[in-house]
Amino acid sequence: MKTNLIISFIMMLFMISCTSSQITNSWKSENIPEKKFNKIMVVGIIAGSDWALREKMETHLVGDLADKGYAAVSSIKEYGPKNFENMKEAEVLDKLSGLGVDAVVTIVLLDKDRERYYVPGKVYYSPYTIYQRNFWGYYTTIYERIYTPGYYQVNTRYFWESNFYDLKNRNLLYAVHTESFDPDSMEALAHEYGLLIVNNMLIKGVLK
């Protein structure tokens, strides 16, 4: 029994260390309804023309909700990329009601920061006794360090916000801020984000 607990703990630490996304803060309403929502629509709001990222973020969150027993739909797949453009609130609510949607979860890309920095080829410190005792040892070691070419690396950090709304009462039930650092791919980013948000909503009792 103790061995199984240790293995589970190690696996959990491994999963945390491998993920590029983490929740920075979250909030939930004190008035979470006991009902299970009929259908949840996932709405991505991402500036620019990055429809591929928006579609992946919506699709993965829809899939993660479905895995927990919730009917969910993607706004971009249901209505296209400009789903609610030039529409009024009443029109949007009627449109969603006609589809059976009674809750909405948003995915908003608040900011995207790219950092470019130089990685030296070989610059590190060693005790002088290792290579400085004679000229040639010093020369060959320093020569390799100085003349080994470096390279530039770019890291990308995403800042996300998601809100969960009960459309019947038009109440905000849950809000969360998340950071994603240098994900391996858009697919990996969307996969991690969906799991992170849905699991946190379950833990906090927002979803039943």
- Per-residue model confidence as pLDDT tens digits over 60-80: 999 999 999 999 999 999 998
Ranges 12-16, 26-30, 38-42, 195-199: which has the least confidence: 12-16
Query: What pLDDT digit, counting tens, does each position of 165-206 carry?
Result: 999 988 999 999 999 888 888 899 999 999 999 999 999 999
User: Judging by beta carbons within 10 Å of its beta carbon (0-12, 13-18, 19+), is residue 208 exposed, middle or buried?
Assistant: middle
Upper half-sphere CA count for residue 151 (Cβ side, 13 Å): 2
Residue 39: other Cβ atoms inside 10 A: 15
Average pLDDT, the chain: 81
How far, in Å, CA of 102 to CA of 184, rounded? 34
Handedness of CA 52, 53, 55, 60 (dihedral sign): positive
Q: No. of H helices and E strands in the chain? A: 7, 6
Ranges 40-49, 65-74, 89-98: which has the least confidence: 40-49
Burial 176-191 (b: 16+ CB within 10 A, else e): bebbbeebeebebbbb
- For the segment 30-35, the average pLDDT, to the nearest whole number, is 90
* pLDDT of the residue at 2: 46
Closest by CA position to 105, among listed 35, 173, 182, 202: 173
